[in-house]
Structure 1
Amino acid sequence: MDLLFNIAIILIKVIGLTFMVVLPLVPISVYFERRFSAIIQDRVGPNRVGIPLTLFGAKKDFSFFGLVQPMADGLKLFLKEDFTPVHVRKSFYWLAPALTVIPALVTVCVVPFGSPITINGEEIKLVIADLDVGPLFIFAISSLTVYGITLAGWSSNSKFPFIGGVRSVAQMISYEICLGLSIIPVLLWYGELNLSNIVEEQSANGWLLLPFWGDSAPWNNGGDYSAWIFWIPAFLAFLIFTISIFAETNRMPFDLPECETELVGGYHTEYSSMKFAMFFMGEYAAMVIGSALIVTMFLGGWSLPFNWDSSLQDAQGNWVWFSGLVHLAVFMTKLVAFILFFILVRWTVPRFRYDQLMRLGWVIFFEAALINVFLAALIIAAPELKVVSTIIGAVLLVVVSAALIWVLKVSDKKEAPNSGHLG
């Protein structure tokens, strides 16, 4: 019975968290994208697609604020002709969309959605797989997405999709390095790779970007300002990680692999019907997982701010029975807020040139993330070091950083302005 109970719990978590929480966020994000862009551009977004009650004799259709628009989009793409060009490499052509969307959904399994809940006297964590290598697992699986985009461009046997695939390889590999380096300060601070433990630590002792309660606050730890000083490398890590997530998910202003003004449609130009839709499902699913990872590591995950989580615990410090549902709602609120931020950036910032994109990744973010690792290590080790050792380390870090910036500035040749043929 225990085995059947555990299997049932695993199936419920997989179906509930993946297919009833994350997957519905994909069409909802599309709806948010349309409404948000309409507000920014001062126009009307989708507001009429609804239930056609007039077909059944009613006087007026039920518009439902246009919320049925994502369902109509999905139905349209599902019923469109699934056309496969003759000149493509068919096996890889069919495999590419699956390699784009599946890794994004698999990474959901290590993201904690809420505090543990108790069922039948057994504590159950709201995470599908509570791995001790959570961030590494996410990076390993999400890196497979580049194969889907690359195969889509290569198997199409067409010029513009191939260029989009090549761009994607260079872009995603470049920014994966920045992603990996940027979270090292976070992992150094917590000494953990388990995302559930990281969130619980933030719940008790302050979020990484909001260290104002628990042991992070100087008035609670005997005047230790380490958490406040560590806010500097933590914010730099947050900045680099967030911008790199934009590049990894091919979102504006980093959507060069599918740049319509240069590549017609990029790597998915030759696709139609649901194969075409799967690329967009993969993009939005990756955006959801990227937002979830940012919220988990930097903004407390499912926890409430200012130690309000203590009101959801009993006298023994155990979570009350409904705390998991409250924390799930908190996590989803943060997640939706960050998805809206993704959409806001898309409709605010213009697209980068490709040379600017690569320069940002290799010349700025790579070096900045590397320096940030040493800065974080120095702050963490400072209480154990002598004052002289700390000062020497700080001076060396400043000197090396200044030398690196000078080298980059000198080696960066300024191009002469384009004066045209007459010039």
Structure 2
Amino acid sequence: MSLLGTLGAVSASVPAAEIPRADFSDTPIWLSLVKAVLLFALLMVQTLIVIWFERRVIGRMQQRPGPNRTGPFGLLQTLADGVKLALKEDLTPKNADKVMFVLAPIIAGAMAFVSFAIIPLGPEVSMFGHRTPLQLADTPIAVILVLAVAGVGVYGTVLAGWSSGSTYPLLGGLRSTAQVISYEIAMGLALVAVFLYAGSMSTSQIVAAQQHLWYIVPAFFSFAVYVVTMIGETNRLPFDLAEGEGELTGGFHTEYSSLKFAMFFLGEYVNMFTVSALATTLFLGGWQAPPGLAHINNGMLNQGWWGLLWFLIKLWLFMFFFVWLRGSLPRVRYDQFMRFGWKVMIPATLVWVVAVAFIRASQLNFLGSGTLRILGIGVPTATIVLIGVIAVIAMGVAWIVDGKRAEAHAHSARPPEEEIDPFAGGYPVPPMPGQRLREPSADRTPLTVGQAASGTTDHTQDHREVPRG
């Protein structure tokens, strides 16, 4: 059998149907409320730390100190910035829709915390005399809940841009909405491979199914796609196109100040923790110890509060990855980013999901468990299926490459662009595709206000005949 098939067989050694979900039978309501408060406090403290961490690491990369004055090693600088934001004047634009203007940051901030509720931070532990999982809640479709909450969070972005009553926030909101929705499609498709290997969408069952092999190995392509999409989902460099300072000032939150701006800022960093925690849960074994340490002392390092330690280590590796990208890569162009998402990520992920579906079907004997005689040699059915899938993928790649070559050839054979006069209608207009601006001539002078209002298009007058009023 192929390498992928062998790895998949190992990962499927424990059927998902035999893996119980997290048991909350000994968790009273008051204990769930306590865990919710502790989870909120954990996210808030980690947000304060990661902002300081990001500024210090990027400062180190750029050979400057970063925050180092407020508190030891500058640790209290983020807290001081938060107090400053709270004390700043809260401004609301005159043309803003005031209800939506206030509601948008609340949606963006609140939705960021909801997704973390289904993330298992560790195994069962003893809390206040009860045995309870280090997880707030779990459902049979927990991962789908995360995608649904992310979709609701988009409303905070688009409402912020629309309700501001300003041009640049509106453009930023539209760009961000298109970006997040586009990359959510590829993200959802990337997670399908994990569902196929685990046989479940419950986060606790997915973690338990990775006891022998983390899904980053058999679902390596899904992991690569998810990493790209989680950066686009959180509007982080090099994909922070909704907040391109050189293009849209501050993006959708340009008109926000004080605590409303702080809510967007908080939501962005909590979203970073959420997508990193989901990647840890789905691909890196969740709270389980690394394979070399998991069997030490009869699995002691996989029990109790040790799981929280391993989970946080993996989580902060992703956070360092976010920071490293921000300090290393320049911002991409918006059309490049969207083209990459729709024309590369989504088609490639679709092909990958189909390939994984055939591999899993052959492992579970849905395609037959026998062998076929080819030229007198017995070949397993799974191998034949895998060869067929690889052939389909190769044909798809060849089709894409041929399409790119044909597009490049058509572009090179395109007729010369039409030359237009940008001032023909009285006002300067940008060129359309297939057009180029006429080079300015020495005898052309700018239009006066009166000429522009009357639609005069004679640009060949001598400059002495044009009144300068």
* Preserved CA contact (<8 Å) 1:206 1:307: no
What is the CA distance between 1:390 and its match in structure 2?
4.2
**One-letter amino acid of the counterpart of residue 398, structure 1:** A
Against the structure 1 CA distance between its residues 201 and 91, is the aligned structure 2 distance closer, same or farther, given a 3 Å change threshold? Answer: same
* Preserved CA contact (<8 Å) 2:95 2:164: yes
Does 2:65 correspond to 1:67? no
Equivalent residue, structure 2, for 1:49: 70
* Mapping of residues 5-404 of structure 1, within 5 Å: 6-17=28-39, 19-50=40-71, 64-119=72-127, 122-202=130-210, 204-209=211-216, 231=218, 234-306=219-291, 308-311=293-296, 323-383=303-363, 384=365, 385=367, 386=381, 387-404=383-400
Distance (whole Å) between structure 2 residues aligned to residue 407 and residue 23 of structure 1: 49
**One-letter amino acid of the counterpart of residue 179, structure 2:** Q
**One-letter amino acid of the counterpart of residue 135, structure 1:** V
**One-letter amino acid of the counterpart of residue 216, structure 2:** L
What is the CA distance between 1:14 and its match in structure 2?
0.5
What is the CA distance between 1:257 and its match in structure 2?
0.9
**One-letter amino acid of the counterpart of residue 43, structure 2:** V
Larger mean CA deviation between 374-383 and 128-137 belongs to 374-383
Against the structure 1 CA distance between its residues 162 and 121, is the aligned structure 2 distance closer, same or farther, given a 3 Å change threshold? Answer: closer
Does the residue aligned with 2:255 lie in a helix, a strand or coil?
A: coil
* Preserved CA contact (<8 Å) 1:206 1:305: no
**One-letter amino acid of the counterpart of residue 68, structure 2:** N
Equivalent residue, structure 2, for 1:217: none
Equivalent residue, structure 2, for 1:222: none
Distance (whole Å) between structure 2 residues aligned to residue 360 and residue 10 of structure 1: 42
Equivalent residue, structure 2, for 1:215: none
Distance (whole Å) between structure 2 residues aligned to residue 124 and residue 200 of structure 1: 16
Larger mean CA deviation between 398-407 and 133-142 belongs to 398-407
Instruction: Give the structure, 1 or 2, with the largest relative contact order (CA under 8 Å, sep 6 or more).
Output: 1
What is the CA distance between 1:340 and its match in structure 2?
1.1
Number of positions where the alignment pairs a residue of Structure 1 with one of Structure 2: 380
What is the CA distance between 1:235 and its match in structure 2?
1.5
* Preserved CA contact (<8 Å) 2:27 2:131: no
Distance (whole Å) between structure 1 residues aligned to residue 236 and residue 52 of structure 2: 16
Does the residue aligned with 2:131 lie in a helix, a strand or coil?
A: strand
**One-letter amino acid of the counterpart of residue 16, structure 1:** L
TM-score normalised per structure 1: 0.84
What is the CA distance between 1:388 and its match in structure 2?
4.0
Against the structure 1 CA distance between its residues 307 and 196, is the aligned structure 2 distance closer, same or farther, given a 3 Å change threshold? Answer: farther
Q: Which structure has the greater CA radius of gyration? A: 2
Distance (whole Å) between structure 1 residues aligned to residue 160 and residue 384 of structure 2: 57
Give CA-to-partner distance per residue, 1:352-400, whole Å, 9 cap, x none: 1111010111011011111111121232233434254443343234323
Distance (whole Å) between structure 2 residues aligned to residue 116 and residue 90 of structure 1: 46
What is the CA distance between 1:406 and its match in structure 2?
2.8
Distance (whole Å) between structure 2 residues aligned to residue 24 and residue 279 of structure 1: 17
Equivalent residue, structure 2, for 1:219: none
What is the CA distance between 1:414 and its match in structure 2?
5.0
Unaligned runs of 5+ in 1: 51-63, 211-230
Cα RMSD for the two superposed structures: 2.6
What is the CA distance between 1:313 and its match in structure 2?
5.3
Distance (whole Å) between structure 1 residues aligned to residue 346 and residue 224 of structure 2: 13
**One-letter amino acid of the counterpart of residue 369, structure 1:** T
Against the structure 1 CA distance between its residues 279 and 388, is the aligned structure 2 distance closer, same or farther, given a 3 Å change threshold? Answer: closer
State percent identity of aligned pairs.
Answer: 39
**Structure with the largest fraction of helix:** 1
What is the CA distance between 1:158 and its match in structure 2?
0.4
Does the residue aligned with 1:125 lie in a helix, a strand or coil?
A: strand
Against the structure 1 CA distance between its residues 135 and 414, is the aligned structure 2 distance closer, same or farther, given a 3 Å change threshold? Answer: farther
* Preserved CA contact (<8 Å) 2:237 2:326: yes
Distance (whole Å) between structure 1 residues aligned to residue 307 and residue 136 of structure 2: 16
Distance (whole Å) between structure 2 residues aligned to residue 98 and residue 84 of structure 1: 15
What is the CA distance between 1:323 and its match in structure 2?
2.8
Unaligned runs of 5+ in 2: 1-23, 368-380, 418-435, 441-469
* Preserved CA contact (<8 Å) 1:374 1:397: no
**One-letter amino acid of the counterpart of residue 284, structure 2:** L
**One-letter amino acid of the counterpart of residue 28, structure 1:** I
